[in-house]
Structure 1
């Protein structure tokens, strides 16, 4: 017989968003549990590539209640440091994370909301979805992708430039991941960086501190944005590669051939591997039985709260669920608001 457990609030996902929700749920003295599919703490940060650095100093990349310690050897912490911080945070606040528990379906029932997992069933009065995007890498439908005979991987699977030493590598994607991975590969591999439009680097003095300040001002209603400034944060490795001529963007190609990309002018480039730095999608499959999606595919929300079912909050999926809510420092603010609404609902 499968195990059945109960919690007033169930949090799905034990990464930064789930932990921020847990912090505020603890302070609100609500009974809750956090279900995380990963075997260990650290969220997606435990899976990122070796040289990834935050855009912000540690002090500007902290969850509520616990400043991130400075990392020796650099102002901007790496992914391993962030993963260790999240593990310590979880332990420090004694957050009730259940691992490895994968939530398969969320259903409505006589006991409120029911979560079917691979380790039994949970009943809850309210739910916070905090699964992030890491498990849903997106690769666009480029003609010929299946015909390419070299190696293909997504940002999701990239770990170290050493795997590509001496190789010819096509990096696809004009965002921060594309710029950072192209810069990481450039010293040891022959790289072509293909972007849908010319990359726009933010001014070199803009980092996560300024981005968070701009997001805060948007919340306060002055309409300030960064879209006119650029898209890519010029962290040190990206800046060095750009300034030494190693980071040069090419237009997006028309299709992949068995040997590599082909552009609309007929030019080609043979390569050994393609790294797709083309983003992720929200990992919301467990909510499918509730039919919360609008015709466009997105779940309509008021802040983090589902308009279709007010017992369900979506946390940490980007500006859709709160300005800067996909960042370490930004998610605390939206988590606080979500928990306040849940507390009001349950009390």
Structure 2
């Protein structure tokens, strides 16, 4: 078993390396153990974060258990048993606590912090280069998510803006913007959450590329399956996955209704360019703002897999397998938390599928 003290370097020859210890990575590791593989000997989980919790540990403090969409249980252990019933607890505290307890209960032996620089071909095996040493694996389950790769679209004049620009990833609290005019860009759930908070302490303007699509009524299982199927169709065809909101729409909650009453959901079309003091639309209209908050989402953090040449000319990756976790160009590689599995419940199912399919492909099932 590798030495997991911070700064220690290790070198191991393994069957499988799991990269990332968020929901998808931990689910994958759990199912690898259920299939008879031993953590630290047959497979190893590498995590770039300093402690358990995946991307949850970096979420803004005002995101509590009452405001998150939902935290789904990891396989074999209930979140409620660890978190209790206090919805006012910060998600950045409760979820890492749960993940840490999960790792300990199932003996997943995560090596952290371990930053993966590159995964490349080495004879018939895969070479995983990290700041904690070199690892040789027959297969890789990649579960790096998106948090490390925030996306900000290019607009003319963006570098000339004299105010402050930041991405959702950098947001901490609404009070930081008191007395300033904040332009919030984006039509996703995070944009709505931050628009709600910031509009209660200062002036806001909301712009989106397309009109937001609000969803009335419950999001039942049938609707969920249809949404997942749409994303799955794209990744099986090698197209980049769409955002979740583009498929599911925005649920109309009491918070949304309250925002409508306050008039903060009166969105404007996307501007054409950015000026030193604000933004300009195609018709020449300008708006002066102090802050541009880009709630424009994330991209899959897959740069370390570039040497494997998994991408198509479309920019996407052709996915196969029962739940579209297996890379068609290299069946030794599975992507979990990508495409249709980019949700907490989807990540659980994808972790199970990836573990079963990869062990079967490598001839490890039932060992």
Normalised to the residue count of structure 1, the TM-score between the two structures is 0.88
Q: Does the CA contact (< 8 Å) of 2:59 and 2:91 recur in 1?
A: no
Q: Which residue of 2 aligns with 1:54?
A: 68
Q: Which residue of 1 aligns with 2:312?
A: 294
C-alpha distance in 2 between matches for 1:186 and 1:311: 48
Give the gaps of 5 or more residues in structure 2.
1-8, 233-243
C-alpha distance in 2 between matches for 1:244 and 1:313: 46
CA 1:55–1:235 in 2, change beyond 3 Å: closer, same or farther?
farther
Q: Does the CA contact (< 8 Å) of 1:154 and 1:276 recur in 2?
A: yes
1:313 and 2:334 matched: yes
1:35 and 2:46 matched: yes
Any idea what SS the aligned residue of 1:97 has? Answer: coil
Which residue, out of 290, 295, 301, partners 1:277? 295
Task: Report the count of equivalent residues.
Answer: 332
Cα deviation, 1:21-52, whole Å, max 9, x if unaligned, reads 11111111122111111111111111112233
Which residue, out of 233, 250, 254, partners 2:251? 233
Any idea what SS the aligned residue of 2:287 has? Answer: coil
Which residue, out of 109, 113, 119, partners 1:96? 109
1:206 and 2:224 matched: no
Per the TM alignment, residue 73 of structure 1 is displaced from its structure 2 partner at its CA by: 4.3
Cα RMSD, aligned residues only: 2.6
Q: Does the CA contact (< 8 Å) of 2:118 and 2:129 recur in 1?
A: yes
Any idea what SS the aligned residue of 1:332 has? Answer: helix
CA 1:218–1:199 in 2, change beyond 3 Å: closer, same or farther?
closer
Normalised to the residue count of structure 2, the TM-score between the two structures is 0.83
Cα deviation, 1:79-111, whole Å, max 9, x if unaligned, reads 432232222222222212111111111111136
CA 1:332–1:129 in 2, change beyond 3 Å: closer, same or farther?
same
Q: Does the CA contact (< 8 Å) of 1:55 and 1:233 recur in 2?
A: no
Cα deviation, 1:5-34, whole Å, max 9, x if unaligned, reads 122110011111111111111111122111
Any idea what SS the aligned residue of 1:38 has? Answer: coil
C-alpha distance in 2 between matches for 1:12 and 1:110: 21
Per the TM alignment, residue 216 of structure 1 is displaced from its structure 2 partner at its CA by: 3.7
Q: Does the CA contact (< 8 Å) of 2:24 and 2:350 recur in 1?
A: no
1:64 and 2:75 matched: yes
Q: Which residue of 1 aligns with 2:100?
A: 87
CA 1:312–1:291 in 2, change beyond 3 Å: closer, same or farther?
same
Give the gaps of 5 or more residues in structure 1.
320-324
1:10 and 2:17 matched: yes
Q: Does the CA contact (< 8 Å) of 1:3 and 1:119 recur in 2?
A: yes
